[in-house]
Chains A and B, each alone.
Chain A
């Protein structure tokens, strides 16, 4: 589809830039960045949005100046219309990723932990803290009986019961890698659907692992569904 040449191309340019500025600014206030990017990048996005808004306003000012009769050629027209349409689409359709689906596609995070310099008391450790701790200290005996208070989403596993998981993100969702803890789900209860967020209180205990040997599992004493937290991604 080739649109006809544009009248008042300057105005269109200002509109398209303005839409992109709104995308960046609006994303940084409506909480969507918490789903997409690591927190350190959030100010950068907001700043870029403000800068872009300034350029758009300058462009708007120019569009009413002496060059207002500027006509854009067909290629320019296509770029302007398409970028404006995409910006609108991004604005109107917020992201709604399935963490379980994403995690199912990715290999586990296997970051080699060096010695942890600081270890929180058991009941204050997040799911990610637990995973890191267990990785740096491979003797599971040390933690059997420790109290656990964690939250995460239900991640279905192949060939074993679902785990409670979190996504680690270094930059943006594209590099998310999952970490998870095995949970001994209460017998007889209906299984939770994938992606359901849960808060679990309980203890760590040694149980036979599916592949042989023993591993630590979370034995829940209290288990309740929660809404997705405002900041679901962990660094």
Chain B
């Protein structure tokens, strides 16, 4: 019995992993392409750092870089390490998995008879992303971001923006230079360097993806899903149950609408929207990938903040639609 269950979990693991790897590769290639075509990434630092405009701009980038959430992590890492304002990078990380043509098209294909969902999903995703960017913006960067990402990011930030203790060079007493040696255009990285970096990044992310998929597969095979869907009709409980389901199932945002279709008839509309909003921001498979960007504190805040926002949005939708 337990062996059968483990064999099934192994197949689930392979399914999750093999489905996500192509998207991960696309993300890594986009990020490498950005290093090649915009070396130094000066445009990144020109993104607005306004607390509201920043995340909104980041979210809008989703239309330009269509990838689902696994592919999004390397691209968001590239934005942040290139010195993009924190808000813009986070806005992209959290909203782009929903705000891109592929995901919107698949949501429409799955729910052609529910136009409200087509509007509510992107709007909700932007709301969640802005709220999370504001929340995480309250934490000082050294406590939020992983050490090596932070070090790369510092290299690309103007020295004036970094505190004296945070940079590793400069003289005490001299005013910090105002801009990052703006005259010398950064050289395009050599091809060898680019390939090495992309390969290393892909393997590192693949390892994290493996860990996430193992956890998701085990939880899925050993926790009966009917436990989660049993509370379908109750407004608040159904939202919480589907949020939990989104965490566990860990399918990509480009296909989760089709999955939601299979139980849409059993649950409240708010719960349905909650499922479609939470999955792209955080799930078991993503937690380990996000570990490449955030320290544990950032991860906890992301999970809690996203959960709360999605619950509120779901409740509001239930008040409006039920």
Contacts and interface: CB of A to CB of B under 8 A. Distances in A.
Interface of A: 10, 13-14, 16-17, 20, 23-24, 27, 32-33, 35-37, 41, 44-45, 47-48, 51-52, 55-56, 58-59, 62, 65, 67, 76, 79-80, 82-83, 86, 90, 93, 95-98, 101-102, 105-107, 109-112, 114, 168, 170-175, 177
B251 A79 contact: no
Contacts of B151: none
A114 B113 contact: yes
Interface residues of B, number: 53
A129 B213 CA distance: 32
Given A105-B221, A105-B224, 6 more contacts: A27-B18, A96-B7, A107-B225, A171-B255, A173-B11, A175-B262
Contact of A107 (B8, B217, B226): B226
B265 interface: yes
B251 to A, nearest CB: 5
Given A36-B18, A171-B252, A111 B265 contact: yes
A33 B203 contact: no
A13 B203 contact: yes
Contacts of A48: 21-22, 25-26
B210 A86 contact: yes
B contacts with A: majority SS: helix
Contact of B15 (A67, A86, A174): A174
B195 A58 contact: yes
A contacts with B: majority SS: helix
Given A171-B251, A177-B262, A44 B22 contact: yes
Contacts of A114: 113
B268 to A, nearest CB: 14
Contacts of A51: 25, 29
B261 A90 contact: no
B251 A172 contact: yes
A82 B18 contact: no
